[in-house]
Amino acid sequence: MEYKYLLDIGLIILAVKIFTIITQKIKMPKVLGGLVAGIVLGPAMLNVVQNSSILEALSKFGIILIMFLAGMETSIKKFIANSNKYVIIAAIGVIVPLIMGTIFSLIYIQDLKTNLFFGAVITATSVSITVETLIEMKKIKSSVGLAILGAGVVDDVIGILFLTIVMNTGNLQLSTFVVMALKIVLFFGIAIISGLLLFKVFEKIEKKDTKTEQMPTYSISFALILSYIAEMLGVSGIIGAYIAGLVIGNTEKGRKIKGKIDLVVHMIFSPIFFASIGLNLVSLKFNIPVWGFIIIFTSITIISKVIGNGLGAKICGYTNERAIQIGIGMATRGEVALIMANEAKKIELINEEAFSIIIITVLLVTVITPILLHYSFKGKNENNEKELCNS
């Protein structure tokens, strides 16, 4: 039926709300409710909702708006001042998972290309889920939140380069990297120039639009256009949305419209995004050895980021407690890992079973990480923001 998507959306929003109430009752993060709702409604369990092009589009819109809101919460001055630290945190947080994932995948299969893929696929962080958890806990503006967001941007660029490797396995040329690097530089050039120009434009709009009635429309439009340019140049759209949020959020009235956008996002688009992740799980039917590998690989996926990003944060002068929180926050995996797995399956680098292993691992990590992050902050005072190192 052409209109079944209406039923799907209705069921998703209702189920997410119900499971969110349950997770809040047991003092778990709200994000978990959305993920569980998707798994329950999807092919793995009840199979009443299946992923569709409409749900995927709404999900994409949801993640763009979530990252746009995260950008609005971020101070440009703090972001730029600590950019060198974000590079260090991201770089070490990629190297460690690559090595550990490659080595431990030998338990499953002894094939160098496949082993390298298992290492590469767990390098890319998906901070959108962490962002939602940090917003819920009101930690998005903390030093830990800023570090996760900053390192996440760098991490995403590295993830794009790994995706390029996967898509060109067996026919890898230096020109491929050069073209990709030029596209990334071009995007950031466009983003910075358009951001500076529009910052001035929005300041003028503020003077005329005293009630901020038009600002939400202009803001979302800018976020979507910049996301489109990012995707067109091979960069993740969420980076474009985040940069758009940085521009809007650092204007006086831009901060005041956040509540209007936030309401719509968390009522409709955020539930669809998180539920759609759970819908990707098709089956739970594996033999015991495969499930054993999934559990081990999931553990490695989380631990490798906690060690890698945590070590990077420690080098940058964060306390042990903050370094662990940053490592946990960077442990989430999402769209980049799923895209890499899908592309690897298309070129027959991995089989259907290996593809399913990646999907389940991403889902398990996505469910576990918000819980760990929630408990890592529990009872902690985040008022002191002075642990960033000066270099």
For 90, residues 6+ apart whose C-beta sits below 8 A from its C-beta are: 151, 152, 154, 155, 158, 309, 312
Q: CA 273 to CA 287: how far, in whole Å?
A: 30
pLDDT at residue 181 greater than cutoff 60: yes
Q: CA 85 to CA 88: how far, in whole Å?
A: 5
Query: In which region does residue 33 sit, left (phi positive, over 0), alpha (psi from -120 to 50) or beta (all else)?
Result: alpha
Q: What local confidence, expressed as pLDDT, does residue 296 receive?
A: 92
Q: Given pLDDT bands bounded at 50, 70 and 90, which one contains residue 391?
A: very low
Q: What local confidence, expressed as pLDDT, does residue 320 receive?
A: 93
Q: What local confidence, expressed as pLDDT, does residue 319 receive?
A: 93
> Higher-confidence residue: 30 or 219?
219
What count of other Cβ atoms lies within 10 Å of the Cβ of residue 315?
A: 14
Q: Given pLDDT bands bounded at 50, 70 and 90, which one contains residue 326?
A: very high
Q: Are the C-beta atoms of residues 293 and 118 closer than 8 Å to each other?
A: no
- Nearest CA-CA partner of 272 in 85, 99, 132, 81: 132
Q: What local confidence, expressed as pLDDT, does residue 12 receive?
A: 95
Q: Are the C-beta atoms of residues 296 and 107 closer than 8 Å to each other?
A: yes
Q: CA 154 to CA 277: how far, in whole Å?
A: 23
* Amino acid letter for position 34: G
pLDDT at residue 172 greater than cutoff 60: no
pLDDT digits (tens, 9 = 90+) for 56-114: 899 889 888 888 887 887 777 777 888 899 999 999 999 999 999 999 988 888 888 88
CA dihedral 349, 353, 358, 363 (to 10 degrees): 160
Please give the mean pLDDT across all residues of the chain.
82
Q: CA 248 to CA 232: how far, in whole Å?
A: 22
Residue reference for tokens 């690897």: 344
Q: CA 157 to CA 240: how far, in whole Å?
A: 12
- Specify the DSSP class assigned to residue 82: T
Which strand (E) or helix (H) includes residue 56? helix 53-72
Q: CA 323 to CA 27: how far, in whole Å?
A: 24
> Higher-confidence residue: 207 or 65?
65
Q: What local confidence, expressed as pLDDT, does residue 389 receive?
A: 41
Burial 81-114 (b: 16+ CB within 10 A, else e): ebeebbbbbbbbbbbbbbebbbebbeebeeeeeb
pLDDT digits (tens, 9 = 90+) for 110-132: 888 888 888 888 887 877 778 88
Instruction: Please report, rounded to a whole number, the percentage of residues in the chain having pLDDT higher than 90.
Output: 25
Q: CA 271 to CA 277: how far, in whole Å?
A: 10
Query: In which region does residue 27 sit, left (phi positive, over 0), alpha (psi from -120 to 50) or beta (all else)?
Result: left
What DSSP string describes 266-330?
IIIIHHHHHHHHHHT-------HHHHHHHHHHHHHHHHHHHHHHHHHHHHTT--HHHHHHHHHHT
Write the CA distances from 244 to 65, 90, 337, integer angstroms.
10, 22, 24
Q: What is the CA radius of gyration of the chain?
A: 20
